[in-house]
Amino acid sequence: MRAITIPEPGGPDALVWAEVPDPEPGPGEVVVDVRAAGVNRADLLQRQGHYPPPPGASEYPGMECSGVISAVGPDVTGWSVGQEVCALLAGGGYAEKVAVPVGQLLPVPAGVDLTDAAALPEVACTVWSNVAGVGRLSSGERLLVHGGGSGIGTFAIQFGSALGATVLATARAAKHPRLRELGAAVTIDYRKQDFVEEVRQATDGHGADVILDIMGASYLGRNVAALATGGRLVVIGMQGGRKAELDLSALLAKRACVAATALRSRPLAEKAAIVRGVRDEVWPLIEAGRIRPVVDRRLAMAEAAQAHQLVESNDHVGKVLLTVG
Domains 2-120+264-323 and 124-260 share a fold: no
Q: To the nearest whole number, what is the mean pLDDT of the chain? A: 97
pLDDT in tens, 1-49: 999 999 999 999 999 999 999 999 999 999 999 999 999 999 999 999 9
* Rounded average pLDDT over 202-223: 97
104: pLDDT strictly greater than 90 = yes
103: pLDDT strictly greater than 90 = yes
Report whether 236 contacts 164 (CB < 8 A).
no
pLDDT in tens, 307-325: 999 999 999 999 999 999 8
CATH class of 124-260: alpha beta
Cα separation, 95 vs 1, whole angstroms: 8
pLDDT in tens, 124-148: 999 999 999 999 999 999 999 999 9
Angle CA(117)–CA(276)–CA(183) in degrees, nearest 5? 55
Report whether 227 contacts 238 (CB < 8 A).
no
CB neighbour class for 87 (10 Å; exposed up to 12, middle 13-18, buried from 19): buried
* Rounded average pLDDT over 242-247: 94
Give the DSSP H/E element, type plus range, for residue 181. helix 176-182
Q: Parse the chain into domains and list their residue ranges.
A: 2-120+264-323, 124-260
Q: Pick from 101, 83, 82, 81: which is nearest to 91 by CA?
A: 101
Q: Is the pTM of this model over 0.95?
A: yes
77: pLDDT strictly greater than 90 = yes
- Structure confidence at residue 264 (pLDDT): 94
Distance between start and end Cα atoms, the chain: 12
- Structure confidence at residue 192 (pLDDT): 96
pLDDT in tens, 249-301: 999 999 999 999 999 999 999 999 999 999 999 999 999 999 999 999 999 99
Cα separation, 324 vs 118, whole angstroms: 12
Fold category of 2-120+264-323 in CATH: Quinone Oxidoreductase; Chain A, domain 1 (3.90.180)
166: pLDDT strictly greater than 90 = yes
- Confidence band for 242, pLDDT divided at 50, 70 and 90: very high
